[in-house]
Structure formats: C-alpha cells, structure tokens
C-alpha cells in the first residue's frame, strides 16, 4: 500500500458500504429481471420464477430500509459520525473547485483546485477526504435511495393507491417514477464500478472502501511524515489495459441498451402497460452486458472484503511474531533498555 491508499472510512462505515452494495446489487438484479423478463429469462428462472424474483426484490427492499434506518441515527447520534457528516456538506470551496475544474478542462487554468484532488500522486495530507465530486455522488445516491424506497413501498401497496386516488394511472405513474430512478441509479453504479475498479492505481479493486482507516497505512491524521506518495512504486498490471477497455465498452453498451429497451417498450423508463414486447437479439445482448457489469461490481465488492480479511490476518500474524518483551540485560538483572545512542557510540 502507498499514500494513495490513505484510509477514508471507519470500521462501521466500511461494513455498511459492503452491506449496502450487496443489497443494491440484489435490487438491480431482481428489478431488471422483472422489467426485462424476456431478455433476462435466465435470471428469472435462476431466482425461482416470477414469484421468486418478486419475493427476493421485496426482501432486499426491506433490508435496504433496515440499513438506512440504522445508518441515519448512527450518523446523527455519534459525535465522530456527526463530524463525518459535516465533511460531506457542500462548502464554498466546492463551488470554486467546480469552476476551476471547468477552466482546467478548457485550458484556462494551470491545475485543478486543491479541493478537487483525488489521486494524481498527491500525498495523503494534500488530498481531501471527499472532493466535491465525491460529495455529489453521496448526495445524489442518498436522494435516489430515499425516493426508490418510498416509491417502492407505494407500489407494493398499489391497492391502497388505487383506492385513495380512485385511478390506476396513479399506480403506473409511481411505477414509471420508480423505473426512472432505477435507470439513473444504474448508470451511476456502472460508472462507479468502472471508476473505482479500473483506475490504473487501484486495479482491480480500490481498498479504501473496504479497509478501515485505522488499519490503513498512511491514512489521514497519521503524524508520520513521508517524503513521497509512493506512486513511484506502483506498477500497472499487465491485464489492466485490455480489462479497462472491455469494461468501458460493456458499461456504455449496458447503459445504452437499458435506455433504448425502456423506450421501445412503450414508455420511459418502464412500459406504459404491464404487457412486454417480444425481445430482440441486440437488445438482449445489450441488457445482459449491463447485468454483467453489475455482476462484476458485486464480485469486486466481495473480493475487496476478501482482501481486507487477508490483510488484517497478516497484520495479526506479524504482530504475534514480534517479541512482546526485550531480551535480558547482559548482567541478567532484567530486560535490556534502549536509551538511544550514547557519546561512546559516536
């Protein structure tokens, strides 16, 4: 590990991130199996048919509600968590960073704003824990999750909606809204998987999301000084180039296919009726490509936790191998003392 792998999250946050990722991926697999059951027939059969898919989707939805119900009070009640919450709030420096980033992209600024730095070889104390881009991702993801949970509950109680509004159109409107949020979130998760799984410095997985910062070398707040970032020790894996190209193509194909399939089914982003059209070969390939990207994201999440467990085990083993007490002094009177260099040593 290097300074580029400086820790960001607490132990509870890393566990919450993994559980949240697992729940969201299950919701994607089941939700799109319901929406595109012609193209994803194998996924429907794998999960026990239509009733099985619906049951798993609802269980995952309630699991998401339970995780959120734990996380919000946890963030607000603990003093350390409240400070972390304040760090994700928008700040004036974020606006300046965005403006300077635009200028930098247009060639009118020499460098990115300090609040926008993420990698690029900076030392840990020179890189913000969360850039304005990271803050935007967190807030967009949070709002989407809340709206998805609310609309999902209302769709689940669709008979109540029909009775309350005396119209089936309202139910279809909620279904369309739920599907729209799902498509937007799908794009974000695909890009998130690509960004954090295939960055050349961290391929095939970025450990900051899985390893607690108190277990990460050179995390923020480390009093030790380091002359370099460690970037000179990084070597790109031989498989990185072709892997990132393949995944980049699959991400684009998956997103475009889901968008086009939603349009072709007669409504955006879900059908205007519950009757699905016949599938096509290209659409089937594209949608399955998107599901494959999500599957890769799930595998990387599991792989990150495996690496975390292996790394922590190695740290424990090395700690046990170190002697717990100093060897006896030469006169046998007790443990030897190391008072540092003396004048005789010079």
- Of 162, 135, 138, 161, nearest to 150 by C-alpha is 161
pLDDT at 6: 53
What is the length of the chain? 346
Rounded Cα distance, 322 and 310, in Å? 19
pLDDT at 128: 67
Alpha-carbon torsion angle 260, 263, 264, 265, nearest 10: 120
**What averages of pLDDT result for each successive group of 10 residues across the chain (346 residues)?**
54 86 92 86 89 91 92 78 75 87 86 70 62 82 90 81 74 81 86 81 77 65 51 71 90 87 60 51 88 92 88 84 54 45 38
- Residue 315 makes CB contacts below 8 A (sequence gap 6+) with 215
pTM: 0.75
């Amino acid at each position: 590990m290097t300074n580029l792998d400086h820790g960001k999250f607490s132990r509870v946050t890393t566990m919450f991130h993994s559980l949240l990722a697992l729940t969201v991926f299950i919701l994607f697999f089941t939700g799109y199996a319901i929406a595109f059951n012609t193209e994803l027939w194998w996924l429907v059969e794998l999960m026990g048919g239509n009733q099985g898919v619906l049951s798993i989707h609802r269980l995952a939805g309630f699991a998401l509600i339970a995780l959120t119900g734990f996380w919000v009070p946890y963030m607000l009640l603990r003093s350390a968590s409240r400070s972390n919450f304040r760090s994700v709030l928008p700040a004036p420096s974020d606006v300046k960073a965005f403006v300077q980033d635009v200028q930098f992209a247009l060639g009118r600024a020499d460098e990115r704003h300090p609040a926008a730095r993420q990698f690029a070889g900076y030392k840990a104390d020179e890189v913000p824990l969360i850039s304005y881009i990271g803050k935007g991702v967190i807030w967009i993801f949070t709002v989407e999750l809340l709206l998805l949970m609310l609309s999902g509950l209302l769709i689940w109680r669709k008979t109540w909606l029909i009775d309350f509004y005396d119209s089936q159109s309202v139910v279809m409107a909620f279904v369309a809204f739920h599907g729209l949020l799902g498509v937007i979130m799908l794009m974000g998760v695909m890009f998130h998987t690509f960004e954090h799984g295939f960055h050349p410095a961290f391929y095939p997985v970025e450990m900051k999301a899985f390893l607690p910062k108190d277990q990460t070398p050179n995390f923020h707040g480390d009093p030790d000084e380091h002359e370099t970032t460690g970037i000179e020790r990084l070597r790109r894996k031989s498989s990185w180039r072709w892997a990132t190209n393949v995944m980049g193509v699959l991400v684009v194909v998956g997103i475009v296919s889901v968008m086009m399939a939603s349009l072709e089914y007669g409504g955006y982003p879900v059908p205007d009726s519950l009757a699905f059209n016949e599938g096509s070969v290209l659409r089937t390939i594209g949608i399955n490509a998107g599901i494959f990207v999500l599957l890769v994201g799930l595998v990387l999440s599991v792989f990150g936790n495996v690496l975390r467990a292996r790394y922590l085990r190695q740290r424990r083993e090395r700690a046990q191998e170190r002697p717990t007490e100093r060897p006896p002094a030469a006169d046998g009177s007790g443990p030897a003392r190391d008072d540092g260099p003396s004048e005789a040593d010079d």
